Amino acid sequence: MNYPNGKRSSIQNNAPRGKKKTDFSNRGMSLEEDINVTNEYYLQAGVAVVHKKPTPVQIVQVDYPKRSAAVIKEAYFKQASTTDFNGVYRGKYIDFEAKETKNKTSFPLSNVHQHQVDHMKSVQEHGGLCFMIIRFTPLDETYLLPSSSMILYWEDQWNGGRKSIPYPYIVKEGIQIPFHYQARVNYITAIDKLYF
Amino acid sequence: MNYPNGKRSSIQNNAPRGKKKTDFSNRGMSLEEDINVTNEYYLQAGVAVVHKKPTPVQIVQVDYPKRSAAVIKEAYFKQASTTDFNGVYRGKYIDFEAKETKNKTSFPLSNVHQHQVDHMKSVQEHGGLCFMIIRFTPLDETYLLPSSSMILYWEDQWNGGRKSIPYPYIVKEGIQIPFHYQARVNYITAIDKLYF
């Protein structure tokens, strides 16, 4: 999560980002926002309980003004040690990272970090359902790719392999995620096809 | 997570708080720190994958100095909308909140918030294992209490019931969590007894 202009609209705005439900066009909303909207719908509809983890921040200095809330005056973004989303579906642990790319022909592995891959491997070993949600923005296509399929390419890059996952591989090994009016990234349908 | 003196020791210190392994006495470490150490051990030993969620922060202003990392100049603590810890154990989703109290005879329900109770109910409905870890600091006793048992008292307080959970109830309905040299709050043993 970056704040390119260094500002959030208002500190009073404590609503989850996914609550912005006025814009129903698929264009213009980030993948993360679409997934937040989807998770909110899943929660309300009793489908699944999935949340985005807060952005990890290293807090250095906090002021405590009289009669007002504590103000963080100095803090730094930390690299996340896990993936962005996790939760429960049908009793199973689910865990995923979401990334969008402007590429049309492949997904660059530079979007993923080693510690995230380590985390995904651990989750797999413990029987969790672990995957990536990858959106090819220019194609307006979004896929669920099992982390195990991603990791094959990840490992191969250290053995002289390519630094990106070809689009046709993702189409073949992944499941395309349909758009749904309320569940904008309706990834549960892909989970059902793949794991249940 | 509060920083009573408004300072962290150093911004360079990116190590998880649980990594402080020099102090092996049980006294003086917070329950949260003990659980972080435990989770790190579980991860390394291949027992389970459980992480504390980052403290949610509302970011208002960020500076981007040349040639250095972005600095958050104004931010506020937000109330967490879920519980503090979640992860995967034997393929199952586990989710819990950890609280310590200075009381000896009961656990005050003011330690818990309505939105956390709502979250716990959702997790239960979806088949996740959901519980509280409660430490009675003066007794040096720590219990795993299923969220369903906690919620009985939670709901009852709105019907004229008491505002705290009696210690004997927690002893009876919960499982005492043993201290283990590496897994300082060895809650997995309690999960095994209760759910598997």
Question: Average pLDDT of B36-54?
Answer: 97
Print the SS3 string covering chain A. Answer: CCCCCCECCCCCCCCCHHHCCCCCCCCCCCHHHHHHHHHHHHHHHCCCEEEECCCCEEEEEEECCCCCCCEEEEEEECCCCCCCEEEEECCEEEEEEEEEECCCCEEEHHHCCHHHHHHHHHHHHCCCEEEEEEEEHHHCEEEEEEHHHHHHHHHHHHHCCCCEEEHHHHHHHCEECCCCCCCCCCHHHHHHHHHC
- Identify the band that residue A79 occupies on the pLDDT scale cut at 50, 70 and 90: confident
Which positions of B make up the binding site for Mg(2+)?
Answer: 82, 84, 97, 116
Looking at A31-40, A60-69, B44-53, which range is the least confident one?
A60-69
B177 in a structural domain: yes
Smallest CA-to-CA distance from B38 within A173, B26, A147, B139 is with: B26
Find residues 11-70 of chain B whose CB sits inside 8 Å of chain A.
11, 14, 16, 43, 46, 48-49, 51, 53-64, 69-70
Q: How close, in Å, is residue A15 to chain B by CA atoms?
A: 10
Q: Are B177 and B142 in contact (CB under 8 A)?
A: yes
A41 to A15, A176, B46, B51: CA distances (angstroms): 15, 20, 34, 25
Residue B154 in domain: yes
Q: What range does the domain containing B85 cover? A: 23-54+81-195
Q: Give CA–CA dist B26/B186, Å, rounded.
A: 13
Q: Is position A123 within any domain?
A: yes
pLDDT in tens, A138-181: 999 999 999 999 999 999 999 999 999 999 999 999 999 999 88
B54, B74, B88 ranked by CB distance to A126: nearest: B88
Q: How far apart are CA A192 and CA A188, in angstroms?
A: 6
Residue B145 included in any domain: yes
Query: What digits encode the pLDDT tens for the residues A99-140?
Result: 999 999 999 999 999 999 999 999 999 999 999 999 999 999
Does position A18 have pLDDT exceeding 70, yes or no?
A: no
Asked if the structure places residue B63 within a domain, the reply is: no
- Interface touch A77/B55, C-beta < 8 Å: no
Block residue for tokens 């109330």 = B79
Instruction: Count up the domains in chain B and report the number.
Output: 1
Instruction: Choose the closest CB to B126 out of A8, A13, A91.
Output: A91
Q: Is B123 on the interface with A (CB under 8 A)?
A: yes
CATH number at residue B140: 3.40.1350.10
Domain assignment of residue A73, yes or no: no
ipTM above 0.90, yes or no: no
Q: Is residue B67 part of a domain?
A: no
| Distance from C-alpha of B11 to C-alpha of B20, rounded to nearest angstrom | 16
Interface membership of A139 toward B (CB under 8 Å): no
